[in-house]
Amino acid sequence: MGEGLSEGPPPTAPPRWNTDHVPEDHEKLVADALRAQATSSGAHPPVTPPDRPATPLPAGWVLLLAALLGLAAGTVVAVITLR
């Protein structure tokens, strides 16, 4: 035998993962895991919708707000320009 070599047992192979329970379809595996997580997590109770829907903002108020914001932006631009 040459120098530096030992007569020990041969190196063992790394342990193999037990894949008996893993399905071949990886998408199904991910879907099953997400489904299990969603059903087992009690962090988010079911949300019940309100009795009546929220009333939308009237169009007149939206136009008024847009006009006021436009005037404010124009004023800022005018002040910066005229300085």
3-state helix, strand, coil in the chain (%, to 5): 45, 0, 55
How far apart, in whole angstroms, are the C-alpha atoms of residue 47 and residue 36? 20
pTM summary value:
0.36
Tell me, what's the pLDDT at 37? 78
Residue 73 has pLDDT above 90, yes or no: yes
Tell me, what's the pLDDT at 29? 82
- Which range among 15-19, 25-29, 60-64 shows the weakest confidence by mean pLDDT? 15-19
Q: What is the pLDDT of residues 31-72, one digit of tens each?
A: 888 888 777 666 667 777 778 777 888 899 999 999 999 999
Tell me, what's the pLDDT at 79? 95
Please count the CA atoms within 13 angstroms of the CA of 5 that sit on its side-chain side.
5
